[in-house]
Each structure stands twice: as C-alpha cells, then as structure tokens.
Amino acid sequence: MLDKGNIVDMFEKGRVLKVCAPMVRYSKLAFRSLVRKYNCDVCFTPMIVASDFLRSVKARDSEFTTNEHDRPLIVQFAAHDAQTLADAACAVAPFSDGVDLNCGCPQRWAMSDGYGACLINKPELVQEMVRRVRNQVDNPNYTASIKIRIHKDLRRTVDLCQKAESAGVSWITVHGRTSDERHQPVHYDAIKTIKDSLSVPVIANGDIKFLRDVESTHQLTGVDGVMAARGLLSNPAMFSGYEDTPLECMWDWVDIAIEQGTPFTCFHHHLIYMLERVSSQPERKVFNSLSSTSGVIDYLQNTYGSVSDVGI
C-alpha cells in the first residue's frame, strides 16, 4: 500500500501506472476494492458534481464513500468555477490523495451545464481552477489533475495543457478522442504530441481492453500511465494479465459486495459485465433475469463452481 501523498513519486519509478477510470455508477468503493486486488495502481471515484456535493449532506454520503484501504484515491469533480472546485477539494483532501477536474465528459447534460468537455474550450478557466486548488489545499503532496478530450485542432489542446501545467497541474489524463467521437479509433498520435509538449506526467485513456494494450499504448505514445474503463468492467483482473474475468475474481466480487452492502442492482450489473465474454447468450439471458443476491450466488455455484473450487 502506497503512503498517502506519494502518487507523483509513482510516476518517477519508471513503470507505466495502471489506473481505474472514473465511471458513473460503477467505480465506487466496492469495485475499487476489487480492482486493487488485481494490480490496479490508482483508482478514481465516479464524477461528482462539486456544487451538489458541497450543498447536500445526502449527496456527500451517497457520492463519496471510502475506507483506509482505498488508496491511492483520486476524487473527480465536475465544476465550472474555481472556488467551488477548491472548496470541494478541501472537503475531500483528508480522505484522498488528489482531485481531478473533469474536462472530458461529452454528455449533453454536462456540457449544457458548463461541465465536462466544454471546459477544453476555456483554457484560462481551467488554469485558474487548477491554481485555486493548489493554493487552497493545505498539503503540498495533494495532487490536482485534469482529464480531457482532444480538439480537432491539436494546437488548442496543447495550449490548454501547457496553461494547466503553468498553474501547477500534477498530471493530465488524455482521452484520445474529440468530444464528438464515441467509438472511432483513438488518436494515439495526438496523445504522443501532448506528451511530448509537457514536462508533467500524462495518462492515456481509450480502448484499453487487455494488459497488452497497456504496453502497446505506452510504446506508441510514451505516456506515464494508462487508464481503463470498460475493459476493467468486463474484466476487473485485466491489469493482472487475465484475458477474461477469472472465477476467483467473480467470487472476490461477491465477497466484497456482500461485505460492503452493495445494492443488488449494482452487484448484479457488475457481474453481467464480467460474464459477458465468458458465457453463452442463453446463459446470459438467464443470469440477467435474476432478481436476488441468493439467486445470483446459486447460479454462479451451479454454473461455474463454488468458492472452494477456485481455491479461495
């Protein structure tokens, strides 16, 4: 377990960091606990709207849950003004290792509210937001990072990143697509250009489905870390080199989810993703229709074997 405040040191050890992306509904404490068992170095929370987080105790309790083993942890916020972001950072700083500003979410609601990918068109605002966090969080080791998408004119992206760097950004995660692109190929050349233009670490994001993709992305771009989203949902043990979700990992998820009181819908959805590549269509149809935790456990035992069968 890494000591608090040493995330930046991890970049300096000469290896490619393996990072769990911020995923709405999915990258919560239980799932973070699972991927940490399988060689994930750093985890992000789901994106949290900073203003709601500050305004509502209920929002804080539902959106941000952690424990002493949940480190290193980056809390990702959606915000569109510097003081709100800084206030939210100060609130979570005692329980985390850094905050990340979402500048990449392409969903219409986020962009219409001034959040997410629309911020890549406001480099001076992003610069001020990073600067305010750095000035107000009373911990020099606490990180302030941003996660972005790219512009069609890459010079604008480089300018944005250099402005953030001048404000003291700790690192930058680059999803190698524009805000209009969804399933198009990742622009690795753009990520490489951004990496070559900066002195701070860069993490690449987009289409990481297997462990081999981590190394190939590193070779193509020279980045310091690689972030996975859907690849980890399908196979939380991906960073340990498994091609598909191993049985042991599924049973680890059952244990963690039950221990942490994960709601059934979330518990079930994660297993639906994990079984996607290892089960037949008729099996998936049956599994997807299950409606209770006990039913899910019985199905897994009858179909794939009990906990003892996988040596846990």
Measured CA to CA, the distance from residue 105 to residue 4 in angstroms comes to 28
DSSP element (H, E) containing 227: strand 225-228
Active-site position among 20, 40, 43, 105: 105
| 90 catalytic residue (yes or no) | no
Yes or no: say if 59 and 53 are a contact pair by the CB < 8 Å rule: yes
Residue count of the chain:
312
**Which residue's entry shows tokens 């800084």?**
86
Yes or no: say if 79 and 85 are a contact pair by the CB < 8 Å rule: yes
Measured CA to CA, the distance from residue 104 to residue 109 in angstroms comes to 13
Q: 153 phi and psi, to 5 degrees?
A: -90, 100
Measured CA to CA, the distance from residue 137 to residue 86 in angstroms comes to 7
Residues 6+ apart with CB under 8 A from 252: 34, 37, 312
SS3 (DSSP) at 236: coil
Catalytic residues: 105
